[in-house]
Chains A and B, each alone.
Chain A
């Protein structure tokens, strides 16, 4: 029996086991919406803005092991989706975005609501397709899901002209895909792994640096086993948080621009670095030449060859899936009994502990004003460290990363690569739908939340009981911090004036709102909110306006040249003898 292109889209989504489609209708996708109306195998979630549809699909994917799906109409629907697509691309999130397109005869004629979606999204997708013939539709959908979810994951756009959704053909979903030009490599080269194992045996100051690739590969168990086996200190990037448990003694905290003192110092002064699914981002190692000035040997595991030797030359590149490579590495380590020298390792740990001792994340919580760090810390306590936490972008994001100790992968969901304000709430929505029994908290700022605040309405419609933790400092805090540090306190356009009453706003959308102004009320408010299991609660915490994120590696600075929090500034923080072969750096 022949069915329409629109029905084929629906059938393909069913075949892929899709549970949720986040979308927004319009002329070019009316056929698809009509087909959706007549099925009941997946749910459609009607967002209030297409950007949010994509972020929700993204949050859904990040908190599960599934491909997120979004559906938007042509023209403005498609362009609204672009920020969401670019966000997913920057963080390698598997997603299929279906966009409507004007009918094929109208393409190129500046038709109503026509944009060249394939052209617009080309630089921010893993791949994209324009389907011109209904006979190609099913195979293209199959390829889209396959490409999105294999190798280094990423978003794939399928642009479907309206006449293709109307045209009819026989439906057959392919069982498998074979793309001769696309063959992801999973297994690492055994010879390279052997070299890595031998190098680890020679290490005196080993350090393990774990990124988002370990989360994407579901390789937490293997990461844990490796780190324990070689008894090295371990750090996670912002995207890797949870890949190695945050409460484990071998964990030294996040590294990078706002990493802990001990993580950044260990990164700078280690002699053998194992980079696992991490891409030496500029917010992590800052200036490459400075990072490499202290000699070190680097083992780099990444599924994408172009991530290797992009910013930093490495000694032992291993192209492959983190999980496969680590399984092999662990097996070789166990079989060969190669371990770092115990005495050297002991000395290294003594040094790492000395760096850890001054507690670079320590802060003082006075009686009168709420510190943002305190709210996150209490949230961690009140949720037993078990919540799924999403965030927006800014200081609150860094506080969330620093003070919520993530013990599981896929528990921490944020826009790291693109840094998209407005990501937090829709992502939380997607995460909550993927994990209906979990507590999902969205840590946000009064500026970021307003970038997709309309989704409070979607949350109401679909009973999404997210807990919004608004760290309201009445500033574009991250911008203000840079202006304080680098622009002589000239707070140009970083003050958030004329804020809405968030409590009333939440209530207007049919939710519960709370305003918390005193430190003593923080914990009780959080507890009360958590008790309201079925409700979305908007917790508006009035926080210290001038709080800054420390430590901070300023622009152009090395990892060992952090701006430290006030309590560490007068300490004598030495670096042991291996500092000497380090030379003079300024």
Chain B
């Protein structure tokens, strides 16, 4: 099953490679990984999307916690959470495609952030499923380039992940 893990980790050189090394050394899957510093510059927050059986996810969580620099790990799947990912997608927007692209962007509540005579660059935010749906809705031949951030997640309501 797909799980979203949120990790608070010391913002130190090499900390990220320990996490990534752990996943490859133990043959765990990384579907996506995002990381950046938090409001506290000594801490980074990482979101890892992974999949595996309950046993594997339990081991992943324990192994992450075992890393000296990891402060906290939570499995967002254990309770209500929201998840967002951003995609920048450059599409062909010439002739009859131009109007159609604009329409699709509106339907998906995206924004056109760069325009040339022949292309649009669209910014789209949502769950990973929504981004997939957008890609699926387009004719593959109009897609010139995509870049996605991978999912970030946060618990709903009062639930917080802090030191």
List which B1-18 residues lie within 8 A (CB) of chain A.
9-10, 13-14, 17-18
- Docked complex Cα distance between A83 and B14 (Å): 22
Known: A126-B68, A181-B70, A305-B65. A119 touches B55 (CB 8 A): no
Contact B71 A180 (CB under 8 A): yes
- Docked complex Cα distance between A313 and B55 (Å): 9
Contact B18 A122 (CB under 8 A): yes
The stretch from B31-39, B56-64, B128-136 touching chain A is B56-64
Contact A306 B66 (CB under 8 A): yes
- Docked complex Cα distance between A118 and B12 (Å): 14
Residue in contact with A147 in the complex, picked from B9, B68, B71, CB distance below 8 Å: B68
B123 within 8 A of A: no
- Docked complex Cα distance between A123 and B63 (Å): 12
B69 within 8 A of A: yes
A130 within 8 A of B: yes
- Specify the chain B residue showing the minimal Cβ separation from A143: B68
Residue in contact with B55 in the complex, picked from A126, A127, A179, A309, CB distance below 8 Å: A309
B52 within 8 A of A: no
A151 to chain B, nearest CB (A): 9
A310 within 8 A of B: yes
Which of B17, B62, B63 has the most chain A CB atoms inside 10 A of its CB?
B62
Residue in contact with B62 in the complex, picked from A123, A126, A305, CB distance below 8 Å: A305
A304 within 8 A of B: yes
Known: A123-B21, A304-B66. A181 touches B71 (CB 8 A): yes
By a CB distance below 8 angstroms, the chain B residues around A313 are 55
Known: A306-B59, A309-B55. A180 touches B18 (CB 8 A): no
- Docked complex Cα distance between A130 and B13 (Å): 9
By a CB distance below 8 angstroms, the chain A residues around B66 are 304-306
By a CB distance below 8 angstroms, the chain A residues around B70 are 181
- Docked complex Cα distance between A180 and B18 (Å): 18
- Specify the chain A residue showing the minimal Cβ separation from B63: A306
A37 within 8 A of B: no
By a CB distance below 8 angstroms, the chain A residues around B63 are 306
- Specify the chain A residue showing the minimal Cβ separation from B26: A123
Contact A181 B62 (CB under 8 A): no
- Docked complex Cα distance between A16 and B59 (Å): 34
Binary contact track B14-57/A, C-beta < 8 Å → 1, others 0: 10011001000100000000000000000000000000000100
By a CB distance below 8 angstroms, the chain B residues around A126 are 68
List which A120-155 residues lie within 8 A (CB) of chain B.
122-123, 126-127, 130, 147
B18 to chain A, nearest CB (A): 6
- Docked complex Cα distance between A305 and B62 (Å): 6
By a CB distance below 8 angstroms, the chain A residues around B21 are 122-123
By a CB distance below 8 angstroms, the chain A residues around B25 are 123
Residue in contact with B17 in the complex, picked from A119, A180, A309, CB distance below 8 Å: A119
Contact B68 A181 (CB under 8 A): yes
Tally of A-B residue pairs with Cβ under 8 A? 36
By a CB distance below 8 angstroms, the chain B residues around A309 are 55, 58-59
B137 within 8 A of A: no
By a CB distance below 8 angstroms, the chain A residues around B55 are 309, 313
- Docked complex Cα distance between A567 and B55 (Å): 43
- Docked complex Cα distance between A127 and B15 (Å): 11
Known: A118-B14, A123-B25. A306 touches B62 (CB 8 A): yes
- Docked complex Cα distance between A313 and B17 (Å): 30
By a CB distance below 8 angstroms, the chain A residues around B13 are 130
B147 within 8 A of A: no
B107 within 8 A of A: no
Contact A181 B59 (CB under 8 A): no
Residue in contact with A310 in the complex, picked from B9, B17, B59, B68, CB distance below 8 Å: B59
A274 to chain B, nearest CB (A): 21
B163 within 8 A of A: yes
- Docked complex Cα distance between A532 and B100 (Å): 94
Residue in contact with B68 in the complex, picked from A179, A304, A305, A306, CB distance below 8 Å: A179
- Docked complex Cα distance between A313 and B54 (Å): 12
Contact B163 A180 (CB under 8 A): yes
By a CB distance below 8 angstroms, the chain B residues around A180 are 71, 163
By a CB distance below 8 angstroms, the chain B residues around A306 are 59, 62-63, 65-66
- Specify the chain A residue showing the minimal Cβ separation from B25: A123
Which of B59, B66, B69 has the most chain A CB atoms inside 10 A of its CB?
B66
B11 to chain A, nearest CB (A): 11
- Specify the chain A residue showing the minimal Cβ separation from B13: A130
- Specify the chain B residue showing the minimal Cβ separation from A147: B68
A186 to chain B, nearest CB (A): 16
- Docked complex Cα distance between A127 and B17 (Å): 13
- Docked complex Cα distance between A179 and B68 (Å): 9
- Docked complex Cα distance between A127 and B68 (Å): 7
By a CB distance below 8 angstroms, the chain B residues around A310 are 59
By a CB distance below 8 angstroms, the chain B residues around A130 are 13-14
- Docked complex Cα distance between A409 and B58 (Å): 33
Which of A126, A127, A306 has the most chain B CB atoms inside 10 A of its CB?
A306
Contact A181 B10 (CB under 8 A): yes
- Docked complex Cα distance between A182 and B15 (Å): 14
List which A298-342 residues lie within 8 A (CB) of chain B.
304-306, 309-310, 313
By a CB distance below 8 angstroms, the chain A residues around B14 are 118, 130
A282 to chain B, nearest CB (A): 15
A301 to chain B, nearest CB (A): 16
- Docked complex Cα distance between A118 and B25 (Å): 16
- Docked complex Cα distance between A29 and B85 (Å): 48
- Docked complex Cα distance between A182 and B70 (Å): 8
B15 to chain A, nearest CB (A): 10
List which A278-304 residues lie within 8 A (CB) of chain B.
304
- Docked complex Cα distance between A264 and B25 (Å): 31
By a CB distance below 8 angstroms, the chain A residues around B68 are 126-127, 147, 179, 181-182
- Specify the chain B residue showing the minimal Cβ separation from A128: B14
By a CB distance below 8 angstroms, the chain B residues around A179 are 68
- Docked complex Cα distance between A41 and B10 (Å): 36
A185 to chain B, nearest CB (A): 11
Which of A119, A123, A147 has the most chain B CB atoms inside 10 A of its CB?
A123
Binary contact track B98-121/A, C-beta < 8 Å → 1, others 0: 000000000000000000000000
Q: Known A-B contacts: A180-B163, A181-B68. Give 16 more (CB < 8 A).
A: A122-B17, A122-B18, A122-B21, A123-B21, A123-B25, A127-B68, A130-B14, A147-B68, A181-B10, A182-B68, A304-B66, A305-B65, A306-B65, A306-B66, A309-B55, A309-B59
Q: In the A-B complex, list the 5 residue pairs whose CB atoms are closest, starting with the nearest.
A: A306-B62, A181-B71, A127-B68, A305-B62, A182-B68
Q: Can you show 8 pairs from A to B with CB atoms below 8 A apart? A: A122-B17, A127-B68, A180-B163, A181-B71, A182-B68, A306-B59, A306-B65, A309-B59
Q: Which residues of A contact B (CB under 8 A)?
A: 118-119, 122-123, 126-127, 130, 147, 179-182, 304-306, 309-310, 313
Q: Which residues of B contact A (CB under 8 A)?
A: 9-10, 13-14, 17-18, 21, 25, 55, 58-59, 62-63, 65-66, 68-71, 163
